[in-house]
Structure 1
């Protein structure tokens, strides 16, 4: 696991791969809980019998936003950012979904530090992310996420 305690340590990784998370399996229970939390009960996500017959995937699929919501969890497996007052999810840019994540698929996050800037004492990083699907050549998505880190001086 990568350990970063200040701006300078983070900056040393500019343009470099930061790491890859462990695999996380998205099961039907997680998909159903996400559907309940977001009020998105589209059949493609929750109706296993119908999906087996009518879906081109022949199974239910994870919500795209469920897969996005895994970024903080998977990112914390890659990097431990220490010496913080606060961290903020700041934004998402240039995201593209490549393919659906079928129920019971394992996914992992691959990351690279795309940019870093010091904004009057606040570190803004742009992390290039790719959500890989085990045994699939095409990722679930690619894009950039932004975090703000307020390091303790």
Structure 2
């Protein structure tokens, strides 16, 4: 900070509480949903999320680096997830047409079926841990705020 800049204004008690609770949610929510998915479906949240994003992609195909980014994983982490899914024949890897060095992950029919099987457990978990707690809130406004924070 230069000598001409003013120090940031301290947080109010409500602002401090918001920041702390948001941090807690960022840690706790993925853990509890993952635990529910493992208990109910024997499918880690990282694998469910990978199947979900692939199911929404054109031709059920995404470049590995793009898939890693939307799943919030490193490329090496995504490679490990896709390798596990390949062993279960839920995903295949193919060379990128536009770049022979790159790889795509492709959702198989078995992968789509597995996603559909796991979806009700994921929905129940998200309802229990998130949606049931925001009843009556302005969800459109909440989504806008969270989107601004994320970008």
Larger relative contact order (CA 8 Å, sep ≥ 6): 1
Shared fold, TM over 0.5: no
Structure of higher CA gyration radius = 2
Question: TM (normalized to structure 1)?
Answer: 0.24
Q: Whose strand fraction is larger, Structure 1's or Structure 2's? A: 1
Q: Whose helix fraction is larger, Structure 1's or Structure 2's? A: 2
